[in-house]
Amino acid sequence: MTSVKAPKPVWDTGREIMLIECFQENPFLWDNTNGNYFKKNMRNTKLQELCQNLGFAKNGIMFTEDDVKMKWKILRGSFVRELKKVETVGRISASGSGQMYASHSRWQHFDRLAFLRDYLRPRNSWSSDERFHQDSDGSPVATPETRPALRTCRRDSVMNPQFVQQLGVGTRWQFGDVLGLEPELLLMVPRPVVAALLLFPVSEKYETYRQEEEERLEADGYSPPKHLYFVKQTIENACGTIGLIHAIGNNKNIDFAENSALKLFLDSTVGMTPEERGRQLEKDTSIRASHESSAQEGQTEAPSLDKKVDLHFVAFVNVDGVLYELDGRKPFPIAHGNTSEDALLEDATAVFRQYMQRDPEELRFTVIALSAVS
């Protein structure tokens, strides 16, 4: 028997405006830098109130909280696309091409959603000071340094420009947050993307999956290529640094400054085993000092490399046309199928979604891309 989907309420302009005004007046519904964002009862109460105010749609269907969340996601996505068009037109106009373009979006809700501009600003490149996080409904929300330190300290200390500069990575390469996993948001990431990193919560569900995955691959006789640069994590809180090393160490096109601490480490450990590289990292005073001092530029304190935390970094790279996941807590890199330079981020996104699906109640996922900037 074929199942029949329940009818959905039909949105009209007036109700869309009502929703936008509600979300603007109550930023805790979507902005997790707001002190009330994690008060689920408060959020649910406000959403229920909004549904009551929306009443019945023209087709007689009552609006639900899921309807409201989905409409917000759609409106936000539309705003992102329109904002990208407007800023692209501005850059073209400024280039003096002589062609005439519309200087403003004609979409009816563009001005109403202008309060999102500071949170969702597409650009050719970005600094690591711009923070974004993905909400439970898929909406990207700002996550600046004011978020709780447990959730950002490792990400901030490892990916801020000062740390990368101290390691001697060429200025052409930058780490930046990915605003969301929708195709239109992935298109906003500067290209080429040579690596992607996922910051995620280490939950019981994940640990169970990790053990099952390891047992399955070993039973199948899986063996990754020996030339992959892989480091075993032997320091409690070094997963961000190791993720950075995996991202850069498996990309031959990365350039370095003279006397780069990271380049020296990579060159001196190229013939070592993953375990030996991990022990060598323990002894590397230059990289450790850079890690511990990297928060001086920001507002949060970088954690000690020995402090226990519950978030973890993994890196995804393209080596010989295969997408590999490199996690220092695992015994070996994991292959996730074919990829290419142009498709690395999109292919990695499919794996990121699997992580999120395993822990649907978790909000603490952040995606970071290593890109070349103009």
Active site residue 239: yes
In the chain the first and final C-alpha atoms are separated, in Å, by: 56
Query: Which residue out of 22, 153, 239, 291 is catalytically annotated?
Result: 239
Active site residue 133: no
Q: How many CB atoms lie within 10 A of CB 291?
A: 26
Contacts (Cβ under 8 Å, ≥6 apart) of 135: 30, 32, 141, 363
Report how far residue 144's alpha carbon sits from residue 119's, in angstroms, rounded to the nearest whole number: 10
Query: Which residue out of 133, 246, 291, 312 is catalytically annotated?
Result: 312
Which CA distances in Å does 337 have to 219, 226, 248, 254, 343? 19, 17, 20, 24, 12
Q: How many CB atoms lie within 10 A of CB 328?
A: 25
351 neighbors 316 (Cβ within 8 angstroms): yes
- Amino acid identity of residue 249, one-letter, is G
Report how far residue 279's alpha carbon sits from residue 328's, in angstroms, rounded to the nearest whole number: 12
Among all residues, which ones are annotated catalytic?
239, 312
